[in-house]
Amino acid sequence: MSVVDLLDKHRGIAERFERIVALGENALGVTNERMISPTRAIVGNREIILAGTNNYMGITFDPRCIAAGQKALAEFGTGTTGSRIANGTFALHTALENELAKFLKLKHCIAFTTGYQANLGMLSGLAGPQDTIYLDADSHSSIYDGCTLSGAKLVRFRHNDASDLDKRLARSEGETGGRLVVLEGIYSMIGDRAPLADFVALKKKHNFQLLVDDAHSFGVIGPDGRGLGNEAGLEDEVDFVIGTFSKSVGAIGGFGASNHPLFNTLRYAMRPYMFTASASPASVATSLEALRILAAEPERRQRLMENSARLFHGLRALGLETGSDVVSPVIAVKCADEQSTIAKWNALFAAGVYVNMAIPPGTPNRLCLLRCSVSAAHSFDEIDKIIAVFKAVVVD
């Protein structure tokens, strides 16, 4: 009997990738040969404006963060070589957790090695086979994966549709087990927000627990930069918060936080946390310093929103259709189909502007998008250049 090639099932993916590359650059694997600033890089011996990095606060080149990372590298070494429950907790980890809890005005915080791991750990730790997770259909893949790992029953509801969730919750009244509703602050592909007040009203009606993934909204929205609950004035109604350090904080890692008195028991119940090496000292130190800077410099958020509004309104003035009607740092331009998206992405790249090419299955409702993410570090001249390039090569 012949051996079944385990990779044979991926031939379709390989062929699709080859078709993308045949139309121009490798849009799924652009290599930054040298970083010039948070908003510019050398790619293929050309200087490119970066408009798809999620570097919302533009903090990656802040000399204070770089110095903090260098100091930690010298004092604690290159890595922890162990998980948090074995030998991988350093003083820096607990300092970061304490600082995050203080920033979020919550009692407890757990730091993870990546944002993806934070979703895997939190969702699989909070819910089990006897529980039900109610999930916005447009949720990030890491949330779906965390739900799968939990073994909980998964019920999807229509994107940002509290009335649809209401019906699904009503059908499950009387079922045993806990119920967890999961939302995102800013949805990563099209940039819209969850209408938190609508879901909080349902929470009072149906008595579930509520989790908000603030990956793209932590440090970005709210009067204090704490995310969706802070913006809506409903932080006390959110039971669990998840976030990442790879966006506004400009490093790598993630966190979960809560006021729940049993929250820290999750450290001994989350397999992704228990069996993963903890974050490197340099990464933790840069995250800690960045968090302090974000707390002390709210003007970064103001600049980010000014830049976001400038790009949003500039692209809409060109007649381009965006994924959301609300200004946010994620601005996605809709395209007709995959082939035209690839062609337009290549035209933008050739003209010196990098954005994200977002195509199915990574997008909701099989949308094809040119996804921009704005930074506080973008200058108005750079924003205007991005708009001008869209006008020149994207507008039909």
For the chain, domain boundaries: 23-52+298-393, 63-296
- In words, the CATH class of domain 63-296 is alpha beta
Residue 319 clears pLDDT 80, i.e. is over it: yes
Q: Which stretch of 18-22, 143-147, 377-381 has the lowest confidence by average pLDDT?
A: 18-22
* pLDDT at residue 368, rounded to an integer: 96
Confidence grade of residue 384 (pLDDT, cut at 50, 70, 90): very high
State the average pLDDT over residues 46-52. Answer: 97
* pLDDT at residue 171, rounded to an integer: 93
Confidence grade of residue 174 (pLDDT, cut at 50, 70, 90): confident
State the average pLDDT over residues 287-315. Answer: 97
Residue 385 clears pLDDT 90, i.e. is over it: yes
What superfamily in CATH does domain 23-52+298-393 come from?
Aspartate Aminotransferase, domain 1 (3.90.1150.10)
Tell me the C-alpha distance between 332 and 358, whole Å: 9
Percent of the chain predicted with pLDDT > 90: 95
What are the tens digits of pLDDT across the range 21-34?
Answer: 998 999 888 999 99
Confidence grade of residue 146 (pLDDT, cut at 50, 70, 90): very high
Would 23-52+298-393 and 63-296 be classified into the same CATH topology? no
Structure tokens at 357: 């090419």
Q: What is the pTM of this model?
A: 0.96
Average pLDDT, the chain: 96
Residue 175 clears pLDDT 90, i.e. is over it: no
What are the tens digits of pLDDT across the range 251-265?
Answer: 999 999 999 999 999
